[in-house]
Amino acid sequence: MKEWLYNSIAAKMTLLVLGGSFFVLSAVLSYSYYYSRGIILAETELAAKNLTLSVAGRIEQEFRALEKLPKGVAQYLECNPGDKSTLTKFVQRVVSDNGEIFGSAVAFEPDAFEKGIKAYCPYYFKGPKGLRFEQLTNPSYNYFCKDWYHIPKVLKAPGWSEPYFDEGGADIIMCTYSVPFFEMTERRDQVRGVVTADISLEWLTKLLSSLDVTHGGFCFIISDTGIFVTNPRPELIMRESMFSLAEERNDPQLRTVGKAMLRNDSGFVEIGPSLTGRNAFLAYARIPSPGWSLAAVFPRDEIFAEVQRLYVATILLAVVGVAMLLGVSILVARSMAQPLRAMVVAAGRVAQGELEIDLSHIRSRDEIGRLAAAFTSMTAGLKERDRIRDTFGRYLTKEVVNKLLESKDGLKLGGEGREITMIMSDLRGFTALTSNMTPEEVISFLNRYLGKMVEILVEYHGIVDEIIGDGILAFFGAPEPLEDHPARGVACALKMQAGMEEINALHEAEGLPRLEMSVAVNTGHVVVGNIGSEKRAKYGAVGSEVNFTGRMESFAVGGQVLVSARTYERLKDILDVRNVLHVEMKGVSGKVALYDVRGIRGPYNVAVPDRSDSLVPLKEKIPVAIHRVDKKIVTGAQKIAWFVEASSVSGKLAVPEELRRWEDLRIVLLDAEQHPTGGELYAKVVSVEATAEGSLATVRFTSVSTAAAKALKEAMDLGSRRGRP
Amino acid sequence: MRKTTLLVLTIFVLSVWGTGYAADFRKASLLPQWVPQAQFAGYMVALRKGFYRDAGIDLTLLRGGPENPPFKKLAGGEATFCTGWLSNGIQERASGTPVVNIAQIIRRSALMLVARKSSGILQPQDLNSKKVGLWAEHFYLAPAVFFKKFDLTVQIIPNHTSVFLFLRGGVDATAAMWYNEYHTILNSGLDQDELTVFFLKDYGIKFPEDGLYCLEQTFKEDPEFCRRFVDASLRGWLYAVEHEEEALDIVMKCAEDAHTGTNRAHQRWMLRRMRDLITPEGGPSSLGKLDPAAYDAVGKMLVDFSYIDRVPKFEDFSRGAR
């Protein structure tokens, strides 16, 4: 499950949608629920307060009206001592004329009615069979001890008694309003007696039960000590109080509510189930005359029943909505996850190196579609990169390719100063040779040659800087620093020369002309780095030493490896030097020493075989036409000259005019009639001797056509046979 | 034949057992000094649970109240036993009614004076020149000793049945029984911390209250019968305090019958306070015993207040377990 959750975007999205909508919905629902509850509660509170205040007001009015009657009697008795018959009649009228009054008495202090009468209390009340009279002076009913008499007497103020169960008359719960009256003195401090009016609490109960509070709600009254005066549950009346219920139910809050009801004029509170068995709201208002409190109870669940119903409906709707949302989100998530999974598989395959990825089934045009498209184009890019890497790999070492492709800064333009060893090679007479070849021949020729050379360069960790036609500029010691770059350079150059033998063997087998390569090796300080523009750049080297190497190379003849003095200085102990040339170089003062190296010892240990180069005097001079070649272009008129001596790689020409040393020549072999025989070769003038007829120039062949090679070999064979019997 | 024998034997055994039982079964009545409430739970429970019957007593529990003064009824032969305060018992004895104490149930004073803190009464001295509601007669004794002890002059307002005079503000302080009126005050919406309470027993006033009494003649004729009555009553008390709910059911039933308009919470409080009062220091073995020192103290009090001239001899008065 956990795995599934972590691994699946569909699961995450679904969960997110579910969680999010659940959160939002519950927030909205809670808010609306509490808000609507708040409104209802406020309305209920208002209605409840109004109800209790109006009912309490009504009861208060009734009490006030009742109070007037005994007060009137008391006033009368304060002005008039009262005789028995008048008093009795008066009391009788009070009871008979007032339906609300259950009974009325006038109780006197001892000796207050008449001297010698210790107790006098005429009492009229409504018995089951009509109005009844009684003197409340029997010994078992000592009215002086009764609260209705004693308390107003002590307080010297009228007041309502607690409700009490009257066993005397009609077995009813009643309540007595007592008004003390005083002796007819100025100070009104001597209580003469008490006038009472009893009321049955039945009418209160009826009044309250007629009130439609709300479904399940009801009203009740408590006395000023918290005792229930009325309550829909008759067993509570007079027996229990708010406080006894609080104690029995162990509900301190109910006690607090009871106290508040006795001490405050009105209020609205929430109560627990102690009173009604359910949580409820209770509004109360004081009935000031008796000091009682009227309360209306509203069961909480009834009040909120409507909200509850609405809430349940809303929750059901929300659940259905969320379920639908869930379905949709699963669909959406799947439609997103499926192409993503396909791409995961594809990416895995790409990681395995398989770039033939088909994501065409992902047709959407959204971000995922674009991602798929980007992925496809990325694999295309990777294919392209691989192709480039493959291509470059032929010319660059892995290190450079990696550095360029993988390093973040690898492709930054810019360079660094570095001492490197560079080699420059060139095929002697190649340009001239190509003029007689088909383009296909030129390319296959070059590919074979360059392929071999690059292979050797890579083997020695050389970096191919440039290949221009048949010329190669390569260096060692950058970008990867190589401690032994001079040795590598020289060894590589020698190996390349050796490689030429292989190529020439193949060429000869195919009837192609033999080629000679010259190589120059130089060590010096250059700048290496990415050279070029953003669009086209290469890792290469620049500096005067590069140019110097090029110039050095122009002094080299085929098969030669010329090493500069700086390179030589580094390696002189292990180099096998055949010859030292001292040449004048443009821009360089004095002679420049160039070392013709044939081998290197030490770890690389490469040598090229010393080719037989001894000139053989020719018995029959071979006429040739020579053309001066300047910068690989054949210029100047053809001159007639003769090979007087020759070897496989060089020859001695008798020229009727002056030739300069290091001049390049195109030499076309002629027959006796001075017509071209088809054989031709290219050569460099390596030394010139002035003679009477002109000059005698030693030339080193750089390129010899097959026909020319054959002709020269025949001439040499003839000469040597003759020369060596 | 065998069947007939068995039947005859059964009838014989039953009749002998029945008459034998009836022969030991003595009728008696008990009059408590006040209306039915948990103050008398022990007797109600003993009756209902059959403890008196077990003791061979066919007891009638009379209804007490202000109209039934217990010693008067006892003297008049309307009750075999009654409950009453020790001070009342001593006074009756001293004035010639031949009553004897056969058990002292409440062995210390449950009387207290209660005042509102808001009336400025925080210590006994604060009662000086205040209005104090007191019940008449013997209820007056212990508070009077208390006032004397602190040299207080108070304005005494007679109090009758209820504490409403106090609740209505007619008096500054009122006498209250710990097990009864004090709880009524609490359950009229006044909290304990709003009240100042002086327990008279806390001020060294020895004043045992409810005891069981009978006429000396009753005791002399059948001390064993009186002893059985006391034992069954004490058994009732022990059962009542140990089985609170059951006892309250019984008490509430009696109270309902008498229309006293009480409630269970109030009776529960009362029963618990009775438990505190009847099982004082000394453990269960001292249950029902009258302490001679307390007897002397109460007797002296009665002499001091001229209720009696002379304290009756303890040995004549107390016939219960000592």
- Per-residue pLDDT of B262-273, as tens digits, reads 889 999 999 999
pLDDT at position A723: 40
CA of B266 to nearest chain A CA: how many angstroms apart? 7
User: Which tokens sit at B14?
Assistant: 């039953």
Q: How confident is residue A6, by pLDDT bands cut at 50, 70 and 90?
A: low
Q: From the CB of residue A393, how many other CB atoms can be counted at a distance below 10 Å?
A: 15
pLDDT tens digits, one per residue of A690-705: 887 788 888 888 777 7
CA distance B206 to chain A (A): 28
Domain boundaries, chain B: 22-107+208-317, 111-203
Architecture category of domain A616-723 in CATH: Beta Barrel (2.40)
* Orientation angle between helical segments B292-304 and B86-94, nearest 10 degrees: 60
- Alpha-carbon distance A92 to nearest alpha carbon in chain B (angstroms): 29
CATH code linked to domain A80-200 = 3.30.450.20
Q: Locate the DSSP E strands across A136-279.
A: 159-160, 164-166, 172-182, 191-200, 218-222, 228-230, 266-271
Residue whose C-alpha is closest to residue B35's, from B260, B268, B272, B251: B260
Residues in A lying within 8 Å of B, measured between beta carbons: 140, 142, 144-147, 150-151, 154-155, 159, 161-162, 164-165, 167, 224-226, 238-245, 247-248, 255, 258-259, 262-263
pLDDT tens column, A23-59: 888 888 888 888 888 888 888 888 888 888 988 898 8
Inspect the interface and report whether the beta carbons of B263 and A259 lie closer than 8 Å: no
Instruction: Please give the single-letter amino acid code of residue B194.
Output: E
Q: Looking at A175-179, A679-683, B39-43, B126-130, which range is the least confident one?
A: A679-683
pLDDT band at A393 (very low <50, low <70, confident <90, very high): low
pLDDT > 90? residue B232: yes
Question: Following DSSP, what letter does each residue of A274-297 receive, concatenated?
Answer: TTTSS-EEEEEEEETTTTEEEEEE
For residue B1, pLDDT beyond 70: no
Is B266 within 8 Å of A244 when comparing Cβ atoms? yes
SS3 A586: coil
B157 touches chain A (CB under 8 A): yes
Query: A408-607 is classed in which CATH architecture?
Result: 2-Layer Sandwich (3.30)
SS3 B179: coil
Return the pLDDT at B18.
43
Q: What is the mean pLDDT of chain A?
A: 81
CA-based nearest residue to B39, from B289, B317, B273, B198: B273
Write the residue in A145, A164, A255 that is nearest to B160 by C-beta: A145
The verdict on a CB contact (< 8 Å) between A247 and B262 is: no
A159 or A336: which carries more pLDDT confidence? A159
**Encoded tokens for A457:** 């360069």
Distance of CA A161 to the CA centre of its chain: 79
Residue B57 has pLDDT above 60, yes or no: yes
Residues whose CB falls within 8 Å of the CB of residue A392, separated by 6 or more in sequence, listed in order? A400, A401, A404
> Does the N-terminal peptide bond of residue A479 adopt cis geometry, omega within 30 degrees of 0?
yes
CB contact under 8 Å between B164 and A155, yes or no, is no
For residues A645 and A654, the answer to whether their CB atoms sit within 8 Å is no
- Let me know: does B57 contact B189? Beta carbons within 8 Å: no
| Chain B residues inside the 8 Å CB shell of A155 | 165, 168-170
In contact, A580 and A593? CB cutoff 8 Å: yes
Do the first three CATH levels of A80-200 and A204-301 match, i.e. the same topology? Answer: yes
What residues does each domain of chain A span? 80-200, 204-301, 355-393, 408-607, 616-723
Residue A191 in tokens? 């209580």
The answer to whether B136 faces chain A, any CB pair under 8 Å, is no
Q: B22-107+208-317 adopts what CATH topology?
A: D-Maltodextrin-Binding Protein; domain 2 (3.40.190)
Whether A1 has a pLDDT exceeding 60, the answer reads: no
pLDDT of residue A169: 56
B166 CB burial (10 A radius; 0-12, 13-18, 19+) = buried
Q: What average pLDDT does the segment A354-368 reach?
A: 80
pLDDT value at position B20? 42
Residue with tokens 């008398």: B40
Most confident of A29-38, A45-54, A379-388, B40-49: B40-49
Can you tell me the distance from the alpha carbon of B64 to that of B119, in angstroms, rounded to the nearest whole number?
A: 35
Cα-based distances in Å from B261 to A262, A346, B37, B126, B182: 21, 91, 10, 35, 17
Candidates B165, B170, B188; nearest CB to A243:
B188
pLDDT range class, residue B214, cuts 50, 70, 90: very high
Q: Which of A142, A151, A164 sits opposite B165 (nearest CB)?
A: A151
Do A423 and A474 touch, CB atoms closer than 8 A? yes
Which of A141, A175, A177, A244 to mutate: most B Cβ within 10 Å? A244
Q: Nearest Cβ partner of B259 from A162, A167, A262?
A: A167
CA B67 to chain centre: 17
CATH class, A204-301 region = alpha beta
Among the partner-chain residues A155, A238, A262, the one whose CB lies closest to the CB of B261 is A238
Q: Say how many CB pairs under 8 Å bridge A and B.
A: 82
In which band, very low, low, confident or very high, does the pLDDT at A676 lie, cut at 50, 70 and 90? Answer: confident
Q: Give residues 162 to 221 of B whose Cβ lies within 8 Å of A.
A: 162, 164-165, 167-171, 184, 186-189, 191
The B residues from 249 to 268 touching A (CB cutoff 8 Å) are: 259, 261-266, 268
Give the model's pLDDT for residue A398.
Answer: 60
State the pLDDT at residue B256: 86
For the segment A412-434, what is each residue's pLDDT rounded down to a tens digit? Answer: 556 778 888 998 988 876 776 77
Whether B10 has a pLDDT exceeding 90, the answer reads no
Flag whether pLDDT at B19 surpasses 50: no
Q: Please, which pLDDT band fits residue B16 given cuts at 50, 70 and 90?
A: very low
DSSP tally for chain B: helices H, then strands E: 14, 10
Instruction: List C-alpha distances in Å: B72 to A279, B36, B75.
Output: 53, 19, 5
CA separation for the pair A347, A351 (Å, rounded): 6
Same fold for the pair B22-107+208-317 and B111-203: yes
Residue of A nearest to B189 (CA): A259
In this predicted model, what pLDDT tens digit does every residue of A48-58 receive, in sequence order?
888 889 888 98
Of A272, A271, A294, nearest to A282 by C-alpha is A271
At residue A470, does pLDDT exceed 50?
Answer: yes
User: What whole-number distance in Å separates Cα of residue A41 and Cα of residue A201?
Assistant: 32
Q: Look at A147 and B186 and tell me if their CB atoms are within 8 Å.
A: no
Distance CA A441, CA B262 (A): 132
pLDDT reported for residue A73: 87
Please answer yes or no on whether B187 and A140 come within 8 Å at the CB atom. Answer: no
Question: Which chain B residues contact residue A240 at CB under 8 A?
Answer: 263, 265
Cβ contact, residue pair B168, A159, below 8 Å: yes
Q: What is the pLDDT of residues A270-291, one digit of tens each?
A: 888 888 888 888 999 999 888 8
Residues from chain A that touch B162, judged by Cβ atoms under 8 A, are: 147, 162
ipTM confidence score = 0.83
Q: Using CB atoms, which residue from A151, A226, A247 is nearest to B168?
A: A151
The fold for domain B111-203 equals: D-Maltodextrin-Binding Protein; domain 2 (3.40.190)
Nearest residue in chain A measured CA to CA from B136:
A145
Band of residue B244 on the pLDDT scale cut at 50, 70, 90: very high
| A151 closest CB neighbour out of B170, B262, B269 | B170
How many residues are listed for chain A in this entry?
725
Closest Cβ opposite residue B162 in set A147, A238, A258: A147
- Greatest mean pLDDT range, A144-153, A649-658, B98-107: B98-107
Task: Provide the percentage of residues in chain B whose pLDDT is more than 70.
Answer: 90
Judged by CB atoms closer than 8 Å, whether chains meet at B157 and A154 is answered as yes
Alpha helices in A435-575 (DSSP H): 439-459, 485-510, 544-554, 565-571
Pick the closest to residue A669 from A707, A617, A616, A717 (CA basis).
A707
